[in-house]
Amino acid sequence: MTVEKQSELPLRAQEDVVAARQFVRSWAVELGLNLVDQTKIITAASELARNAVIHGGGGLIRIEILLDTGKRGMRLTFEDQGPGIVDIERAMSDGYTTGNGLGLGLGGAKRLSHEFSIESKPGAGTRISIIRWKS
């Protein structure tokens, strides 16, 4: 897998979540994702960026355009140095929330992605990567 292009944005406040959404949208358009795929990756990005700000105390989003055996896609990686996730399996289940939301964030982001990975250590932060391939 080759990274054709990459960039990072800080995620410190709610305004950064909006900026991340706009940035992901512009890259998705540039990549040539159709409207449905654009909506899916932007929605997932919004939820994961919001989680990094609210639950992780801030962090960053890394955006990469990928090339892998003739197919192109976008990988988004969200990193924070927050409290981490004690029980990832529980956090991934629909309805589980540590805030005021519906508890669909992590599971929803996974369903909106072609590939999803999560790493988290209590007290050491969380890293989540998602990939959406161009159809």
pLDDT digits (tens, 9 = 90+) for 48-99: 999 999 989 999 999 999 999 989 999 999 999 999 988 888 877 765 555 5
Q: Are 97 and 108 in contact (CB under 8 A)?
A: no
Question: What pLDDT score does 115 carry?
Answer: 97
Q: For the segment 19-39, what is each residue's pLDDT rounded down to a tens digit?
A: 999 999 999 999 999 999 999
Question: CA 35, 70, 107, 85 torsion: positive or negative?
Answer: negative
3-state secondary structure of 72: strand
Question: What pLDDT score does 60 carry?
Answer: 98
Short-list 25, 23, 48, 46, CA closest to 37: 25
Looking up tokens 């969380």 gives: 126
Q: Which domains does the chain have, with CATH numbers?
A: 2-133 (3.30.565.10)
Edge to edge, what strands does the sheet with 2-11 contain?
Answer: 2-11, 59-68, 71-80, 125-133, 115-121
Q: First CA to last CA across the chain, in angstroms?
A: 17
3-state secondary structure of 60: strand
